[in-house]
Structure 1
Amino acid sequence: MVQSTDEWDDIEKEEGNEDISITIPFNPSEINIKIIPRNIGQLVELMEDDQILVPRYQRLPNLWSNTKKSRFIESLMLDLPIPLFYFDEADDKRWYVVDGLQRMSTLEHFMLGRGEVGKNKAHLVLENLEFLTQYNGKKWEELPKDVKRTINSNQVTINLIGKGTPDEVKYTIFSRINQGDVPLKAQEIRTALFQGYRVDFLEFLLNEQQESGIYFRKATDNSVKTKRQEDLDFVSRFLAFYLLGFTTYEPDLDRFITKGTRIIPSDEKKLSEIKANFTKALKLAFNIFGTDAFRKRFNVNDPRKPVNKPIFEVISVAFAKLSEDEMSLLELSSMEFRTKFIEFLTNNKKFLDAITTGTATKESVINRNTEFNTLLTTFINDKRDKASKF
C-alpha cells in the first residue's frame, strides 16, 4: 500500500511494506486465461454494443493528454503493433477492461465520440502528430477510407481472464500485469474486480449528498482526493476491517481489503446498517478532533500532519462499533479524549510504530487496533464509573 508518487501531499505514505510476503497463496491451477485474436474494428464494435465496457469509475479513463491519444491513433494509422489487452469476462459474458484502459478509452473517444462525459458526443480531434501531420485537426469521420481501413484492420491480441476465476487469483493476475503507462493503483484493481453493487455502495458512502460523504470530507478536511480513487481506498479499508475484524488479518493488506470488498452484503438492511455506523464514526471523529481527525499530533502546538491511513482504520472501525451510550459518553468528554489521544501517541511506542512503518504486517495491524481499543474502552469505562457515582 505504499504510494509511489507524491500526488497525495496530505496523506502520509505507508512505509516499510515492500517485503511483506503473502501468507495464504492462491492455487495456480485456478488461473484461467484465454488468448483471443481480434482487430481494432471488432473491439470498437463490441464496445459500441456495450459488450466491452470501459468502466467510468475504475479511474478517470481519459488520463492521457490529447497529444498522447493522437499519437496512439497515429500508431494505428501506421499499422504499428500495439501491446496486448487484458479483459475480465463477467458472468453475463461481457468483457471489462483490466489492462489497456487508456488505449480503449482513446478508441472510444476518437471513433465513437464518447469523451470524458460518458456518451455525450465529444470526438477527439487529432493534434501534434509526428509523421502523418496532414491529419492534424481531423476527426474520425474526416479521415480517408483507406486510413480508416488501416486502423480497423490493425491486429491485437487479447488475454481474457475467464469467468469463474476466484477474485484473489484475479487480483494477483491484475497486479502482475499492471505495467501500463499509467499503472493501476490497488483500489482501481479492486474496482475493476467488483463492478456492480459493491462499488456502487462505496460510491454511495462517499456521495456528497449523503451524510457519510459530507462527514468524510469534513473529518479529512477534503485532503483525500477522488482522482485515482484514493477516497474509495479509505472506505474499502474501513469496510474490510469492519466486516472481517482485525483479528482475522493475514498479509498482505491489499488482498485483505480485496477479501473485505468481496463480502460486502447485498442485503439493503445490512447496507443501511453499515452506512449508519460509518456515518456515526466519521461524525464522532469530526466532533472530537475537528479537521485534525486521523492525523498524528504530539502536542497542541504541533504543525498539522498529513492524514494517516492506519489511524483512519483504527478510529473509524472502533467508533463505528460503539453503542449510542458509549458515543454519548465519549462526545461529552471530547476535549479530554482529544488530549488523551495526544498523550497516547506520544507515550505508546507500540501504537506509534504500528501506524508509522511496516503498517501492513500482521503484528502492526494487531498492535495498533488492540492498543487503541484498550485506550478507548478504558476511557469510556472510566467515564461510566464516574457518572454512576453521581
Structure 2
Amino acid sequence: MSTLKNNLEAIQQKAKERTVKTQTIEYDLETLVKKIKKGIIKLNPDYQRNHRWPDAFSSRLIESLILNIPIPMIYISQDVDVDDEVDDEGARYSVIDGQQRLTAIYNFFEGKYALKDLEVLSELNSSYHSDLPPFLTRRLEERTIRCLRIDSTVDTQVKFDIFERLNSGSVKLEAQELRNATCRGPFKELIKKLAKNSKFTEMSKLTPDSSRVKKMEDEELVLRFFAMTYGTGYSSYKGQFKKFLTEKMEEFNKLPITELASMEKNFLDTMELIHKSFGTKPFAKYRATEASTEEMSQFNAAVFDAVTYAFSTLGPNKELLHEDFINLFKDAEFFESVEGSVNDVSKTATRIRKAMEVIK
C-alpha cells in the first residue's frame, strides 16, 4: 500500500492523460448507409481482411434489425474534426468495432446479397433489398443503432489500445490490421507497396492467398525492417514489441516524402542484394548437428531481423557467403536469440550483433 501511495501522483497523471473522450450517438440505418457510401464513415479496406461474414450470418442480422432485436453498440473513431478541412479524402470516421455488422447492412442496402436461412421471417428468404415491401424498407431505414464515437484528439497509441481491447469480432484482428486502422499517412501506403515486392515475398515465403498475408504479416515485416534499421532502429527498443512497431509507424508517417523515397530505395536494394547473395531462403532457420546444420523452417522472423539489418548496412558490391550466416546457428548464443520469445530486448540485440560480426 505504501508503494501505491508513493505512486499516487503518477497514477493520477496517467489516468488523466489516458482518459478517453467519447460521445454516444444514434444513427438510423439510412443515414449510416449514406455516410458509408460517401466515404465519411470508412469501412477500412486497409485493415479489413479478405473474408467477410457469410450471407446467412448477414441475413440474420438484417432479420434482427427488422424485428427490432437489440444488437451490440458500434464503436467509431473520429479521425478528422468536424471543423477541419481535408484534402485527400472525405473519410472522417473509421470503424473500431462493428465493421462486419456495418458491412452486412451496407451490402444488403446496396443489393449485394439476398436474404437466406431466415427462421422467423422465412417468407423473406431469397429477397434482395429492392424486393422488400415498402413498410419493411421504411422499418429498416428508420431503425437506429447506437454508436460510441471516440474523440479526434485521442492519440494513435491510445486508439490502437482501444482497437485491441474492443476487437471482439468472430475473427480477431491482428496487430498490423489494427495499425492500418489507426496510423494514417504516406508511410502506411509505402509499406503496402513494398509488401508486394516479388523478391521480398519469395524470400519471406509469402503467397498472395496465404493466411500470413491475410493477417498482414507481409506489411508488418516491412514495418519491422524499417523499425529495426532506420534512425535509432533496434537500439531504441526497450520492450513491448507491438507498441514499439506502432510508435515507429506513427513516427514514419510524419516523415517527408523525400525521406520515404530514400527508405524505399534502401529496402529494395537490401532485398535485391540478399536475393543475389543467398537465393530464395535467406531467412530460414537451422539447427546445428554433429555433422553440419539442418533446416528447421523456411522462414523465421528473428532470422529476418538479423539478415536484413546486416545487409541494409552494406554497399551494393559487397560479397557475402550464405554459408557464413548458416554457420551462425552453430553459435549457441545466436541460436538462442532466434528461439522462443524472440522479441525479447536482449535477444533482439544479440542476433543483430552476431550478424554484424559476420560481415565485418
* Band of TM-score, shorter chain: 0.7 to 0.9
Determine whether 1:315 maps to 2:303.
Answer: no
Match of 2:47 in 1: 58
Q: Do structure 1's residue 353 and structure 2's residue 341 form an aligned pair?
A: no
Q: Note the C-alpha offset of 1:34.
A: 2.3
Q: 1:76 aligns with which of 65, 83, 86?
A: 65
Aligned to 2:28: 39
Q: Which residue does the alignment assign to 2:347? A: 364
Once residues 309 and 81 of structure 2 are traced to their aligned partners in structure 1, the CA distance between those partners, rounded to angstroms, is 35
Checking the alignment, whether the CA contact within 8 Å between 2:205 and 2:299 is kept in structure 1 is no
Partner of 1:180: 169
Structure 1 residue 92, shift from structure 2 partner: 5.0
Partner of 1:338: 322
For the pair 1:199 / 2:199, whether they are aligned, the reply is no
Tell me, what secondary structure is at the counterpart of 1:263?
A: helix
Please tell me whether the aligned partners of residues 280 and 319 of structure 1 are also in contact (alpha carbons under 8 angstroms): no
Rounded Cα–Cα distance in structure 2 between residues aligned with 1:318 and 1:293: 12
Asked if the contact 2:55/2:115 (under 8 Å) is kept, the reply is yes
1:231 aligns with 2:218: yes
Cross-structure match for 2:86: none
Q: Deviations over 1:301-327 (max 9, x none)?
A: 7356141112212322332232x2xx4
> Distance between the aligned counterparts of 1:50 and 1:272, measured in 2?
29
> Shift of residue 273 of structure 1?
0.9
Q: Do the aligned residues in 2 keep the contact of 1:219 with 1:283 (CA within 8 Å)?
A: no
Change (3 A) 1:357 1:80: same
Compare relative contact order (CA 8 Å, sep 6+) and give the higher one, 1 or 2: 1
Code of the residue aligned with 2:306 in structure 1: it is V
1:96 to 94, 99, 105: 94
Q: Give the Cα separation in 2 of the matches to 1:197 and 1:166.
A: 18
Secondary structure of the residue aligned to 1:328 is coil
Secondary structure of the residue that 2:96 maps to in structure 1?
Answer: strand
Q: Which residue of 1 aligns with 2:244?
A: 256
Identity %: 24
Please name the residue that 1:219 is paired with. Answer: 203
Residue type at the aligned position of 1:316: T
| 1:357 Cα deviation after fit | 1.1
Per-residue CA distance 1:20-44 (angstroms, 9 max, x = gap): xxxx999332322222232323222
How far apart are the structure 2 equivalents of 1:185 and 1:227? 10
Per the alignment, in what secondary structure is the counterpart of residue 329 of structure 1?
coil
Give distance in 2, aligned partners of 1:266 and 1:138.
50
Helix, strand or coil at the partner of 2:23: strand
CA shift for structure 1 position 253: 0.7
> Is 1:373 the equivalent of 2:356?
yes
SS at match of 1:294: coil
- Once residues 317 and 229 of structure 2 are traced to their aligned partners in structure 1, the CA distance between those partners, rounded to angstroms, is 21
Counterpart residue number, 1:130:
119
Alpha-carbon RMSD across the aligned residues, in angstroms, is 2.3
**Structure 2 partner of 1:111:** 109
> 349-358 vs 31-40, which deviates more?
31-40
Offset, 1:258: 0.4
Letter of the 1:241 partner, please give it: M
Instruction: Give unmatched runs, 5+ long, in structure 1.
Output: 1-23, 114-122, 208-212, 378-390
Q: Secondary structure at the match of 1:291?
A: coil
| Change in CA separation of 1:314 and 1:108 when aligned onto 2, cut-off 3 Å | farther
With 190-199 and 145-154 compared, the bigger mean Cα shift is at 145-154
Question: What amino acid does structure 1 have at the position aligned with 2:216?
Answer: Q
Q: Write the letter of the residue equivalent to 1:315.
A: V
Count of equivalent residues: 331
Distance 1:301 1:365 in 2: 22
Q: Please state if 1:29 is matched with 2:16.
A: yes
Superposition deviation, residue 233 in structure 1: 1.3
Q: What residue in structure 1 maps to residue 269 of structure 2? A: 280
Q: Residues 35, 365 of structure 1: CA spacing in aligned structure 2 closer, same or farther, 3 A cutoff?
A: farther
- Residues 358-387 of structure 1: CA distance to partner in whole angstroms, max 9, x if unpaired? 12222222222222222332xxxxxxxxxx
Out of 143, 151, 176, the position equivalent to 2:140 is 151
2:296 and 2:340 mapped to 1: Cα distance? 19
Letter of the 1:73 counterpart: I
The answer as to whether partners of 1:67 and 1:128 remain within 8 angstroms in 2 is yes
Structure 2: unaligned runs, 5 residues or longer = 1-9, 83-91
Contact 2:284 2:295 in 1 (8 A): no
Equivalent position amino acid for 2:101 in 1: R
Say whether the 8 Å CA contact 1:125–1:139 is kept in structure 2.
yes
Aligned counterpart, 2:257: 268
